[in-house]
Amino acid sequence: MNDLKDKVAIVTGSTKGIGRGIVEALAKAGANVVIVSRNQDDCNRVAEQIKEFGHDALPVAADVTNLKAIEELVKKVTEYYGKIDILINNAGSAITKKAEDITEADWDRVLNVDLRGVFFCAQAVGRQMIIQKSGKIINLASILGLVGDRQVLPYCVSKGGVIQMTKALALEWARHNIQVNALCPGYVITPMNEADLMNEKIHNHIIKKIPMRRLGEIKDMIGAVVFMASNAADYMTGQTLVIDGGWTAE
């Protein structure tokens, strides 16, 4: 049921962190993956690594805040593979700043990537999926779309919006056999945030809120993504799957 053989999956923000782990997991499950980030050299590097698993990987540089770039991405993928089975909206941005100090540029940067970019990627890919009468869209939200936290206001707003967007798209596109779901990770340690999360003050603030008393790891997230991308999740849509060590259970 979790076999993704010959499926075509686009993963935005897939050269680092959780996105990098996702493309590797999808490839191991049999999918052909499209590596997307703003830097073509990074995309090429990861694509070559993925090809070692014996599956094709297409590297495409694209900025998810640029509608023309999104349209070109979809065009390249459909011309190369002839279809798009899976979209993982993983690209994201965040800023740590007190609410009273947030500038217009700060607000726009986070919301443009984390909310606007997610919708327009889903829209562009969704148009192709409607033609195909099938597809899976998985939006990376966050527990901070469900609960608040200090000094991350634009991120909380954007992720809350992603959860509501997931529900609305699921309702609209159910008749086209397109399933739209969201994954809400807790705090996940990656090479990009390791230094911050290992700061004693930050680490203690986070750990005391997690009943399992540990940070999440990339490997904790990828099984859920493969499940939601597979036929095992054919009757699941409009849902938010939370993987947070128990944070939101209290």
Instruction: Convert the pLDDT of each residue in 6-28 to its tens digit.
Output: 999 999 999 999 999 999 999 99
Structural domain count, the chain: 1
Distance of alpha carbon 171 from alpha carbon 89, whole angstroms: 18
Catalytic residue among 80, 81, 155, 235: 155
> How does pLDDT run across 85-138, given as a tens digit for each residue?
999 999 999 999 999 999 999 999 999 999 999 999 999 999 999 999 999 999
Give a yes or no: residue 110 inside a domain: yes
Query: What CA–CA distances, in Å, run from 85 to 79, 145, 163, 231, 240?
Result: 14, 26, 21, 11, 20
Give a yes or no: residue 135 inside a domain: yes
> How does pLDDT run across 189-236, given as a tens digit for each residue?
988 788 888 889 889 989 999 999 999 999 999 999 999 999 999 999
Distance of alpha carbon 8 from alpha carbon 157, whole angstroms: 31
Give a yes or no: residue 249 inside a domain: no
Distance of alpha carbon 43 from alpha carbon 35, whole angstroms: 6
Q: Which residue did the predictor score with more confidence, 186 or 52?
A: 186
This prediction's pTM: 0.96
Q: Give the H/E segment covering residue 218.
A: helix 218-229
CATH of the domain at 155: 3.40.50.720
Question: Which runs of consecutive H residues, i.e. helices, occur in 15-103?
Answer: 17-28, 40-51, 67-81
**What is residue 194's predicted lDDT score, i.e. its pLDDT?**
84
Residue 172 has a CB neighbour count (10 Å cut-off) of: 12
Residue 166 lies in domain? 8-243
Give a yes or no: residue 3 inside a domain: no
Query: What CA–CA distances, in Å, run from 184 to 28, 81, 92, 241?
Result: 23, 30, 13, 6
**What is residue 135's predicted lDDT score, i.e. its pLDDT?**
98
- Write the DSSP string, 125-193: HHHHHHHHT-EEEEEE--GGGTS--TT-HHHHHHHHHHHHHHHHHHHHHGGGTEEEEEEEE--EE-TTT
Q: Are 109 and 92 in contact (CB under 8 A)?
A: no
**What is residue 54's predicted lDDT score, i.e. its pLDDT?**
84
Give which of 12, 2, 61, 3 is closest to 33, Cα–Cα.
12
> How does pLDDT run across 36-62, given as a tens digit for each residue?
999 999 999 999 999 988 889 999 999
Give a yes or no: residue 211 inside a domain: yes
Helix 104-111 and helix 153-173, axial crossing angle in degrees, nearest 10: 30
* % of the chain residues with pLDDT over 70: 100
Specify whether 155 is catalytic: yes
Q: Give the H/E segment covering residue 222.
A: helix 218-229
Q: Are 10 and 86 in contact (CB under 8 A)?
A: yes
Q: Is the pLDDT of residue 174 over 80?
A: yes
**What is residue 53's predicted lDDT score, i.e. its pLDDT?**
80
Give a yes or no: residue 2 inside a domain: no
Distance of alpha carbon 142 from alpha carbon 49, whole angstroms: 28
Give a yes or no: residue 1 inside a domain: no
Query: Which two tokens mark 177?
Result: 């056999």
Helix 67-81 and helix 117-132, axial crossing angle in degrees, nearest 10: 30
Give a yes or no: residue 248 inside a domain: no
